[in-house]
Amino acid sequence: MAKTPPVQIKSNLKPKTLDLGCGLFKLPGSIGVDIVPLEGVDVVHDLNQFPYPFQSNVFDYIRLFHVIEHVNSIVKTMAEVHRIIKSDGLVEIVTPHYSDTSSWQDPSHQWHLNSRSFEHFETTSETNYYSNARFKIEFSEIKLLKLYKLLGFEFLVNLQNFSSHYRFFRKFWEQYLCTVVRGKVMTFKLRAIK
């Protein structure tokens, strides 16, 4: 297979934003990448093929909106995202929580993730030897089903965003309650460390 030449990024795009797996819902002002040449897709590329057709240290912001659960290797994908994002760049990942039925009903989902899945890329992780890509998790939020949000469970599960002292609420929910008080969607904001 012929190697795809790197895509030249226009310098007037500030900040330089990449929407990986954008589909029909590309983030306005971003460069959209998808495997299918849909309307609005700027670069047609299979996210399971490495390297991506971009030079290193190009983007300020990369979004993966309901994409990471579809890739063949999260570790390789995050390493490639780390390569093309600038130091201190922001990566936003949105994915179903493994306790939600949407995580399991789509046969193209290869991964079922929880709130700690991206900790493996932090410098403090005991298992960060899988990859040299390093990120700091600045924010992680879990949306719960509407009933549990109304009952206040969503607030408790996300208290750790205000202080790490409250992390035990999320850990307790995820280990003991999430099969009953189900999660819906998770959002992560990761800062690239180089």
Q: Are 63 and 19 in contact (CB under 8 A)?
A: yes
Domains with residue ranges and CATH for the chain: 17-144+183-193 (3.40.50.150)
pLDDT, tens digit only, all 194 positions of the chain: 445 556 655 545 456 999 999 999 999 999 999 999 999 899 999 999 999 999 999 999 999 999 999 999 999 999 999 999 999 999 999 999 999 999 999 999 999 999 999 999 999 888 888 899 999 999 999 999 999 999 999 999 999 988 888 889 999 999 999 999 999 999 999 999 99
Using H for helix, E for strand and C for coil, what is the string for 114-173? CCCHHHHHCCCCCCHHHCCCEEEEEEEEEEECHHHHHCCHHHHHCHHHCCHHHHHHHHHH
Q: How far is CA 10 from each of CA 56, 75, 124, rounded to the nearest angstrom?
A: 15, 29, 36
